[in-house]
Amino acid sequence: MTKHDTWVKLKPGNPYEPILDLFPDGMIPMRDPFALERVTTDNGDVVALWIVDIERLSSFQYQALSQIIAICRNTDPLEVATEATVKGGFAINSKWVESMKCWVEGFERGRELADFLETAPPQGTSEAKRAFWEFYSHQHQRWIEGNQEPRPINSIEDIHPSLRTDDLERLIKMHQVESAMVQGNYSVLDVLTGRAMVDALNIIDPENEYSLVGDDDEFDDDEIYE
């Protein structure tokens, strides 16, 4: 199974606040990059749910979520934990999610969601419900139960146009630089002298040629100030 790579931060006032210090930066790992699950309340309202990725939880985080949800439901933590294990994760109402971060799987699935929404029938129709459940089934088969591997992200062009931002483009380039430097197995001296960075830039920007400028290199005044 593909290791999921989505994290969310919850809004202030959420019922999970007492345990958020157990999560780095208050970010909770999620199975999907959007609220994939749906439940219908007694009033007939449809609620969208995010599913916590229990495979990325520590034992302390797992126990804490079981306990806090049990308190909210006025039930036994063991019952909550058993239900989460059977259903594949703890459910969190989408109304509490403030922000999300993800990487290759999240962006690939985000692309699929954007493509689905562009062609989906009008909401509220029987055709829309049928289309959603087909999308839901495909997501489960390939990304949750299956071994689907996301396409690599090599540039901002690999991101769906609706998801592109300047900050994301800078993040992708920085990630490429860091990956190139790690793969290069450089020494501390290589990093300090800039050779590692030059090699990384030549990898991620092959249209230009980068090189180190030595103390013995000679330039005309016009070249220096050009």
For the stretch 92-106, pLDDT in tens is: 999 999 999 998 999
Residue type, 70: A
pLDDT digits (tens, 9 = 90+) for 31-61: 999 999 999 888 888 899 999 999 999 999 9
Give the predicted TM-score (pTM) of the model. 0.75
Residue with tokens 């090699």: 199
Residue type, 110: G
Residue with tokens 């030059």: 198
Catalogue the long-range contacts made by 124-132 (C-beta closer than 8 Å, 24 or more residues apart). 132/38
pLDDT digits (tens, 9 = 90+) for 183-224: 666 666 666 677 766 776 676 666 777 777 654 455 455 544
Tokens of 35: 């609220």
Q: For residue 35, which of 27, 19, 21, 46 has the smallest C-alpha distance?
A: 46
Binning pLDDT at 50, 70 and 90, where does residue 225 land?
Answer: very low
